Every structure is written in C-alpha cells, then in structure tokens.
Amino acid sequence: MIPRPTGEVDTAVIPHEVRQAICDQIHRYAFYSDTKQYHELPSLFTEDGVFDETCLGFPMMRGKVELTRIFSVPSDKYIYFVHFISNILITYYDGATARTTSYLRGEGMLSTGAMPRVLGYYDDVFVRQGGEWLIGERRLIPFAPPSGFSASS
C-alpha cells in the first residue's frame, strides 16, 4: 500500500498541466465506468494500485493484475450507473505524488430493478510514473449509508 501523504499544500505551486492531468484521470475513470469500458480502467492505475469500495460491499482490489481480472469480467447486472464527480481538490503535491479528494454522487439501476445510490468522495493518491499521473490508491468514503448495493452486484 502506498503511504498516504498528509499535510497542507500551497496550491499555487501545483503546475496547471499537473492539475489538468490529474483531473483528466479522475474524469476518465468515471467515463470508462459509466460507458462500460471496464477493460480500460486498469490503465489508470499503477502496477500495485489499490481500489477500495469495500463500503459498498465489494472486495478490495490490489494490483493491476487483479484489477484487470475483475474489470474484464462483463456484467449484465448494471443497466446503468453514472458517476457525477465534482469538488476536486489536490490536498498534497510534491512533484511525484499527489493526494486528491473528489465528491461522488453515483446512481444507477440493476437488472433486478434495484436503484443503487451513493453519496461520498474519493480519497485518491496519484503517482507520477512514465510521464503520466496514475492512481496509486482510490478509496471511496461515503457521506451517508449507500443503498441498493450488494456484494454480488
């Protein structure tokens, strides 16, 4: 697991192109997920990346191999699920690592008729590798109890 950077950041020292690259990755994640391009999601993570949506009943995923295995399994359980992302903040930056938060309002429909909904935020650690910013760790923190999810979703 990647150490989670802490502390305050002088946002004036974060280059615009870094901000944009990180924001683009956050939005890419939502777009790939919402358009069911799940096979693209592992490309956004580091080789040892961690994906934690255990608050929704899903297993923690560690490493690109596991992410690829899980995200490559097609699922017809979701008719749709949409991520509405806002309030992106870079809360730590040292040139090689950044920590961000981004609000999530997610809602969808399962083939069972269930309507999953989550209100929360992603707590992310980004790592600069090979000239791009990749997700080293993504953890979902709910603001309110999620509804309509099950571990088999």
What are the mean pLDDT values of the chain's consecutive 10-residue runs (153 residues total)?
A: 60 89 98 94 96 93 92 81 96 94 96 95 97 97 92 50
Mind listing the pLDDT tens digit for each residue in 74-103?
Answer: 677 889 999 999 999 999 999 999 999 999
Closest Cα partner for 29 from 95, 126, 117? 126
State in words which class domain 11-142 has. Answer: alpha beta
Domain boundaries, the chain: 11-142
> What distance in Å separates the CA atoms of residue 111 and residue 114, rounded to the nearest whole number?
7
What pLDDT is stored for residue 1 in this prediction?
A: 53
What pLDDT is stored for residue 80 in this prediction?
A: 93
Classify residue 79 by burial, with Cβ atoms within 10 Å: 0-12, 13-18, 19+.
Answer: exposed
> What distance in Å separates the CA atoms of residue 33 and residue 80, rounded to the nearest whole number?
10
Chain centroid offset of residue 141 CA: 11
What pLDDT is stored for residue 2 in this prediction?
A: 55
Do residues 118 and 33 make contact, with C-beta atoms less than 8 angstroms apart? Answer: no
Task: State the sign of the Cα–Cα–Cα–Cα dihedral 111, 63, 106, 28.
Answer: negative
What pLDDT is stored for residue 145 in this prediction?
A: 95
What pLDDT is stored for residue 153 in this prediction?
A: 47
